[in-house]
Structures are given as C-alpha cells and as structure tokens.
C-alpha cells in the first residue's frame, strides 16, 4: 500500500488556501504540522455540542466528555505501547513534559555533584529545564558531542557516562538537522551506569513507530501539534515505578485525594500530575490524530517522506552556494541549509512572497548552531501531505531568490 496523496491532501483544508496570491507550499512541519479534518471536526463538535468540564460532573455532558478524554489516554498507551494507561500523563506539550520530569524527578533525586548529560543538538526545552534543576541541586549539565555531520559521537558518550551520571536526555530526532539518534543503544548504556533516560520524541512521534517497552526508556515526551493534532496538548510517558516516587509537579483540582488546611494527600496516577481543568477539546481531538497516523501506516509514511527528502537533497545541491547543515547517515525529513551571500531570514521572507513556508533562525538550538559554525539556517521539513511538486516549487523558489539577492 502507498499513500493516496490526493486523498490525504483533501484531509488538510489549509493546503487549499492562497498566500500572497500563490498556492500554499507548507514546508514548516518540524515546527508544527497542519491539522487534519477528523481533528478539526472533533474540536468543532466539542465546542458546539459537548462543552463541559470532565472528571467531576455527574451530568451527561461531563460524563461523555470524561469518557472521550480518557479514550485518548488508552489510544496513546497503545500508540507507544506503554504497559499501563496510568503511565500516560497529559500535559501542554513536550516542553511541559520535560519540565515536569526536571522539576519533579530531578529536584527530588539529584544530589550535589551528580551529572546530567544532554547532546549538542538538543532543543532549548531539553537543555534549560535541566540547567535549572542542576543549579538548584548543585549538579552539572554535561554535553554529549556530535561530529560535523550532526551525529552523536557514541564513543565520547560512553566516556562521559559514570556513576555520577543520573539523567541522560536526548532527542530521538533532531528538529534542526533531522538526525535520527541511536537511542536504543544510548538508553542501554545509560542504564548500565544506573542513569535514567529521557527521550524528547517531539520530532519522531509522527514519523517513526515508537515502542517504549522495547526502548526501555524511563520517560518520553511529545506534542500533539507536531502530529496533526491541536496545539497546547502533549503527553509524558513515564515508568510506573518512577512516577509513583515523584512528588506532584503542580497543585490544584483533580490531583488531590483529601485536602485539609493542615495537609493534603494526592490522587493516584495519572491524575497526580494533572492539576486543574485541562485542554479538554485538545485531549479529545488528539485521539483522531493518533487514528489518522495509524490508518496511514508508519511504513507508508516513512517511504513517502524519505522519497521527498532524497529528492529535495539531490535538487538543492544543484544550486551553487547552497550547503546542507546536517548530513547524518540516518535522517528524517528535515533539510537545513545555508546559501552563500544570503541570510536565512532573507531566504524565508522572499520564499514566503512566493507562497512557500519554511523556517529560518536558530530553531531553538543555539548550542548546535555554534557547533556547526553558523548563526542560523533555513529549514524545509516535509510531511506526509507534501508532494514532489511541492519540492519542485520550493527549489524553483530558491533559484529565483538567489537571482534576486
């Protein structure tokens, strides 16, 4: 089976719009994907027919909303093959998921002199929370280096691991380079020294099949908005034994058992970490994003996106002065590049005037930009609804931009 690209594109109504009187060519999928009709329809249905708070009410709308919201938790568990549904914690996104682990697990269990390892290519949301925790506990954040192609140096990683290492946190796929990291091997090596491993799966969740039990990762975080789902919603997976030992991240409604003025006891998992009224519509709609990806099939998604990346890589290298930043042997559908004599922001602005949406800047990966000796890059990132024609228009747009500059 292959992707029926016409049917898929019809499921994303935003692709039919014009930008500056040009058909939209959307190549900023690593930042956020477009939304499919099943997700949009679920949001609309909730807000027009089913809006009510969940988990507390005994009336029909509340009970119906609770049932649908919790169905998403079951679907998420199946999607990443978690052992228990209560290992699925709902958050506002990858950033909050990582902050939850940093402020709950790390602040509880780190000691002075302990070490946290992060790679050079991490998004700021997988660096800054660990720095904050380390500063408060007297621990140290150390860097796992990469080579010129944007690949983790496994031998150097092995040397960094020691009895001082308590946490390793890396991305599965780099948002800036598209590098697919060997996290299976890295997780095993971290466990050999007694460290826990946190996976930032924001970029991989819609592109690669993830099995948390096979990986044996301790925590894994991802966002709804990078997998055709609503913004402001995400998932943290954590092993049951670790989550049970961690104190709540926030206090408020739904995360409590009994409250007195003197003392509070806390709710069971997963609710212990889900204080307050959540993004109910987003949680309900996320199920339809999971279902959509499952219906397409990861094998088909991978095949289609690899075709786009390979074609775009071949064509962009035919343009004089273009340099690809990040040439790992294993890459996802992300193409970061620079053009001689052109600032990435100028490239992005001029392509936008042609209806082509790419991302420019440091992509929230400033340490990586420093390592690659560039201030910023232009980034085209492809998803399942993109076509070879999109790539052709993008390449022609780059050529026009080069001539203009």
Which amino acids are annotated catalytic? 364
Token representation of residue 71: 């169905």
Strands 88-91 and 234-238, by their bridges, are antiparallel
- Taking each helix axis as running N to C, give the angle between helix 388-404 and helix 344-352, from 0 to 180 degrees, rounded to the nearest 10: 120
Which residues, at least 6 apart from 105, have a Cβ–Cβ distance to it below 8 Å? 167, 196, 219, 242, 246
Sheet (strand 196-200) strand order: 88-91, 234-238, 219-223, 196-200, 165-171, 115-119, 140-144
């Amino acid at each position: 089976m292959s992707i029926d690209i016409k049917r898929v594109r019809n499921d994303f109504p935003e692709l039919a719009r014009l930008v500056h009187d040009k058909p939209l060519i959307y190549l900023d999928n690593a930042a956020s994907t477009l939304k499919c009709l099943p997700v949009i329809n679920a949001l609309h249905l909730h807000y027009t027919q089913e809006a009510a708070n969940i988990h507390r009410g005994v009336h029909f709308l509340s009970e119906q909303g609770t049932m649908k919201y919790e169905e998403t938790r079951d679907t998420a568990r199946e999607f990443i093959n978690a052992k228990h549904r209560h290992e699925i914690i709902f958050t506002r996104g990858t950033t909050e998921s990582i902050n939850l682990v940093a402020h709950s697990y790390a602040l509880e269990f780190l000691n002075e002199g302990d070490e946290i390892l992060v790679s050079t290519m991490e998004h700021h949301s997988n660096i800054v929370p660990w720095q904050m925790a380390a500063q408060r506990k007297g621990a140290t954040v150390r860097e796992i280096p990469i080579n010129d192609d944007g690949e983790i140096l496994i031998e150097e990683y092995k040397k960094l691991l020691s009895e001082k290492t308590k946490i390793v946190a890396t991305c599965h796929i780099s948002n800036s380079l598209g590098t697919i990291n060997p996290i299976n091997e890295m997780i095993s090596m971290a466990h050999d020294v007694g460290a826990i491993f946190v996976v930032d799966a924001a970029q991989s969740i819609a592109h690669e099949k993830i099995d948390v039990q096979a990986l044996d990762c301790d925590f894994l975080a991802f966002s709804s908005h990078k997998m055709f789902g609503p913004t402001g919603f995400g998932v943290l997976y954590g092993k049951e034994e670790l989550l049970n030992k961690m104190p709540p991240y926030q206090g408020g409604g739904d995360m409590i058992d009994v409250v007195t003025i003197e003392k509070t006891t806390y709710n069971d998992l997963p609710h212990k970490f889900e204080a307050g009224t959540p993004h109910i519509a987003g949680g309900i709609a996320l199920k339809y994003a999971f279902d959509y990806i499952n219906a397409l099939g990861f094998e088909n998604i991978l095949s289609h996106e690899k075709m786009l990346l390979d074609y775009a890589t071949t064509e962009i290298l035919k343009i004089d002065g273009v340099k690809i930043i990040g040439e790992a042997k294993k890459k996802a559908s992300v193409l970061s590049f620079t053009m001689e004599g052109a600032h990435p922001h100028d490239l992005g602005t001029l392509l936008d005037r042609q209806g082509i949406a790419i991302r420019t800047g440091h992509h929230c990966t400033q340490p990586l930009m420093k390592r690659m000796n560039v201030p910023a890059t232009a980034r085209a990132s492809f998803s399942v609804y993109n076509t070879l024609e999109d790539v052709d228009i993008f390449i022609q747009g780059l050529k026009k931009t080069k001539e203009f500059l």
